[in-house]
Amino acid sequence: MLEDLFSMVKVRFNADQTEDNRKKTDIPKGLLFKCPRCRSVTLSDEFNKRGKVCPNCNYHSRLSAKERLDITVDRGTFREFDRNMVSKNPIGFPDYEQKQIALREKTGLKDAVVTGRAKIYSKDTVIIVMDSNFMMASMGSVVGEKITRAFEYATRNKLPVIAFTASGGARMQEGIVSLMQMAKTSGAVARHSQAGQLYIAVMTDPTTGGVTASFASLGDIIIAEPKVLIGFAGRRVIEGTIKQKLPDDFQSAEFMLENGFVDMIVDRNRMKRVLSHILRMHNYTGEVQSK
């Protein structure tokens, strides 16, 4: 408690100092990170070095798939699968193609998930990373197909799967086709599981809707980053039903842990080591022959 107080004072002091420095030296805004939760200000370099975690309140900011891979897998070991897969427009949704083209340009992503094979402290694994910069990482044909193929590849090659989940849910622009991706990915998880392979789901901000109601909740081990949003229904939908405001921690990682739906909460800076330990405990020790 006292320590907290001290650290708060210290941070406030630092923040003020940074504020002053900014005035004096005219540091452009892009060089500073202002935490949306505790409002403290950190130098961007410092914030980035910590994996985009606020040094004051431990707020875990959202990462792009590339940033996530950079801090998770051994350098130079990532081999991407299905890099050029793009979605069609199954229900002829107005402007869906144009929206995707614009997003591809803006994000450098083809869709909302990156899949591939990599090493974590020398241990081979299939890795799935969702990227909320692309249509809130909603699950349509491409997300469903790439995740399914990643699990099928892992099943054939006797590899574990680590999935960093983040999603606003099903991609309504693809209609019923997007709903079917929930069944399709869950089927692929079932086969991987029946083959005796390990699947670790790491829930990141936000894991909701159809992704929570499919492969994200089916890990043998489910990890969450601190304070992230995890849930099935949207908060506003529930608030509309019950006609009252919900507490801030509703549908947080801590709420899910307390209710028994998450095995553990792990800070981002420990994540790679924890994943590595779990892989080792399941006898994934080093090189695996691939077919």
Partner 1 sequence: MSELTASQRLDIIRHKGRPTVNDYIPMLFDRFMEMHGDRLFGDDGAIMGGIAYFKGTPVTVIAQVKGRDLAENQRCNFGMPHPEGYRKALRLAKQAEKFHRPVICLVDTAGAFCGVDAEKRGQGEAIARNLMEFMTLKTPIISVVLGEGGSGGALALAVCDELAMLENALYSVISPRGFASILWKDAAREREACDLMKITAPDLYKLGVCDYIIPEAPGGAHNDPQATANNISSYISKALERKLKKGLDELINERYNKFRIVGEFEESTTI
| Cα 283 from chain centroid (whole Å) | 25
Q: Is 215 in the site for partner 1 (CB under 8 A)?
A: yes
Among 9, 31, 91, 264, binds partner 1 (CB under 8 A): 91
Is the CB of 72 or the CB of 87 nearer to partner 1? 87
* 54 in Cβ contact with 42 (< 8 Å): yes
Whole-number Å distance between alpha carbons of 141 and 156 = 22
Two structure tokens written together for 281: 């405990």
Number of Cβ within 10 Å of residue 108's Cβ equals 13
Length of the chain counted residue by residue = 291
CB of 56 to partner 1, least distance (A): 29
Piece of 19-27, 46-54, 83-91, 154-162 that binds partner 1 (CB under 8 A) = 83-91
Whole-number Å distance between alpha carbons of 150 and 61 = 26
Q: Is 115 in the site for Zn ion (CB under 5 A)?
A: no
DSSP conformational letter for 247: P
Q: Is 178 in the site for partner 1 (CB under 8 A)?
A: yes
Piece of 22-30, 70-78, 230-238, 273-281 that binds partner 1 (CB under 8 A) = 230-238
| Cβ burial 261-281 (10 Å sphere, 16+ → b, else e) | bbbebbebeebbebbbebbee
Q: Is 92 in the site for partner 1 (CB under 8 A)?
A: yes
CB of 255 to partner 1, least distance (A): 8
Is the CB of 145 or the CB of 205 nearer to partner 1? 145
CB of 276 to partner 1, least distance (A): 26
Two structure tokens written together for 165: 């989940």
Q: What is the β-pairing status of strands 32-34 and 123-130?
A: unpaired
CB of 142 to partner 1, least distance (A): 5
Which amino acid, residue 57? C
Two structure tokens written together for 137: 């990482």
Is the CB of 43 or the CB of 85 nearer to partner 1? 85
Q: What is the β-pairing status of strands 221-224 and 123-130?
A: unpaired
Q: From the list Zn ion, partner 1, none, pick the one residue 210 interacts with, judged by a Cβ distance below 5 to 8 Å according to partner type.
A: partner 1
CB of 104 to partner 1, least distance (A): 8
Q: What mask, x for binding partner 1 by CB under 8 A, covers residues 269 to 288?
A: --------------------
- Compute the C-alpha angle 46/35/58, nearest 5°: 70
* Binders of Zn ion in range 38-97 (CB under 5 A): 38, 54, 56-57, 59
* 98 in Cβ contact with 128 (< 8 Å): no
Among 77, 133, 186, 276, binds partner 1 (CB under 8 A): 186
Number of Cβ within 10 Å of residue 105's Cβ equals 8
CB of 35 to partner 1, least distance (A): 27
Q: From the list Zn ion, partner 1, none, pick the one residue 251 interacts with, judged by a Cβ distance below 5 to 8 Å according to partner type.
A: partner 1
Q: Which of 100, 179, 110, 191 is nearest to 144 (CA)?
A: 179
Site for Zn ion, rule CB under 5 A: 35, 37-38, 54, 56-57, 59
Site for partner 1, rule CB under 8 A: 82, 84-94, 104, 110, 141-142, 144-145, 148, 170, 172, 174-184, 186-187, 189-191, 193-194, 209-210, 212-218, 231-234, 237-238, 241-242, 246, 250-251, 259-261
